[in-house]
Structure 1
Amino acid sequence: MMVNQKEFNLHKLSYILRTATEKDAHKLSQVRLQIDGETENLDREKGEAYLDETAFKKIINDDTNSISNLFLVAVVNKQIVGFSRCEGRKLKRMSHTAEFGVCVLREFWGHGIGKNLLKESIHWADLSGIKKMTLNVLETNDKAIKLYEKYGFEVEGILKNDKILSDGNYYNTVLMARFNE
C-alpha cells in the first residue's frame, strides 16, 4: 500500500517518511546489513538472512500491491536511514492482524525517526481496518518498550531465553500488541 509522504524536523534534522519504491531496493539492502551490525536489538547478526536488491524489489512490489502491507522508509538528504514494515496475514482467520518491525541507523537514533515510523504505521493500520498490530522486542530494549506502551501496545507474552547475545547470555523476547477495537 502507498501513503502520502510526510516531512519532520527534530533536533536540527529534517527527514521524510514515505512509501518504499523499487528504486530504494539497493540502498535498503545496504542499510539493513549495516543496522544488523550496529545493534543486538534485532533478530539477525550482520550478514544473516541477507536480502539483496532483488529480494527487496520483490518485497516492495508485494507490499505496494497489498492492502494489508506497508513499507515505509526514512530519508535524510536523499539517503535512507531507516525503515519499517507492517506485514498483514494472508490467512483469513488472521487477516485482521499485521506485524510491525522497525530499524534505524544508530547515527540517527534520538531524532524521533523510529517513533514517527511507528505513528505513521499505526495511522495506516487504523485506516486499513487492521484490528491488531503485533511486534517483538528484546527485553533489554527498555526505550522501545516504553515507546510502544505509550502508543497503546501491551505485553501479550514472553518468549523465555529466546535469544543468545554476544555476551553469551540468553534473553527474553517480549511479545506486544495494539488493539484497534
Structure 2
Amino acid sequence: MRIERICPDEAEALYTCMKKIDQETQYMLYLPDERSFNKEKLIEDIKQNFYIGVKTETNDIVGYLSVHISRLAKIKHIGYILTGVINEMHHQGLATKMFQETIKWAERKGLRRLELTVITTNTPAVKFYEKLGFKIEGIKHESIFMDDHYYDELYMSMMINQASLLDSTIG
C-alpha cells in the first residue's frame, strides 16, 4: 500500500473507491445509489483541491482524503476535509498516514485550519479525529436525515501553523 497524491488521470479509480465506501457505510453523505460519475467534473475537482489516496500495487484506490479550499479571500486559509477508507483496509494505520501527509501539506500551503464534520453517532471516527488532534467546536443539530431519523453532526477542527505564528509575533 502506498499513500500518494491522486492525479487527474486517476479520476475513475477514485470514483470507484468513493462508490464502494458509499455502499459499505451509512456515515458518508451519499446514499449508495446517489453518487454519479462525471469524469470531467471530478478531474477538475482533483486539479483544484488536494487529494491523497491509499493505492494498491495495481493502482486501485482503497481510501482517500480530500481537502477543499475556497477561492474566497476571507476563508482561503481553511481546508475542509472529506475522507473514507474501504472497510477491509480499516485498522491498518492508513487513514492516520493520509492525515499525517495532509497536515504536512497544509503546513507547507500555509493553511490556518483544517475542519470536518462527523455524525455524532460515529464514535470510532470521532475518537480517531480527536486522537489526531482535532477538537470539537460545536454541534450542527439535525443536519443529517437517514433511516427515518435526524442525526446531529459535530464540527471539528485542527489549527495549523500556530507555533510559527507565535514565533513571528514574539520576535
- TM-score bracket, normalised by the shorter chain, equals 0.7 to 0.9
1:28-43 alignment runs, 5 A limit: 28-43=14-29
Cα RMSD (Å) of the superposition?
A: 1.4
Give, in angstroms, the shift of residue 54 of structure 1.
2.5
List structure 1 segments (4+ residues) > 6 angstroms apart after TM superposition.
none
Distance 2:75 2:61 in 1: 32
Match of 1:147 among 128, 140, 160: 128
Give, in angstroms, the shift of residue 43 of structure 1.
1.0
Identity percentage of aligned residues: 24
Q: Which residue of 2 aligns with 1:108?
A: 89
Q: Is this contact kept in 2: 1:74–1:82, CA < 8 A?
A: yes
TM-score, normalisation: structure 1: 0.82
Q: Which residue of 1 aligns with 2:166?
A: none
Q: Which residue of 2 aligns with 1:61?
A: 47
**Letter of the 1:30 counterpart:** T
Give, in angstroms, the shift of residue 22 of structure 1.
2.3
1:95 aligns with 2:81: no
CA deviations on 1:113-161 (whole Å, 9 max, x unpaired) are: 2221112111111221111111011111111111211222111111111
Give, in angstroms, the shift of residue 71 of structure 1.
0.7
TM-score, normalisation: structure 2: 0.87
Q: Which has the higher helix share?
A: 2
Q: Which residue of 1 aligns with 2:113?
A: 132
Larger Cα-atom Rg: 2
Match of 1:179 among 149, 159, 165: 159
Which residues of structure 2 form unaligned runs of 5+? 163-171
**Letter of the 1:162 counterpart:** S
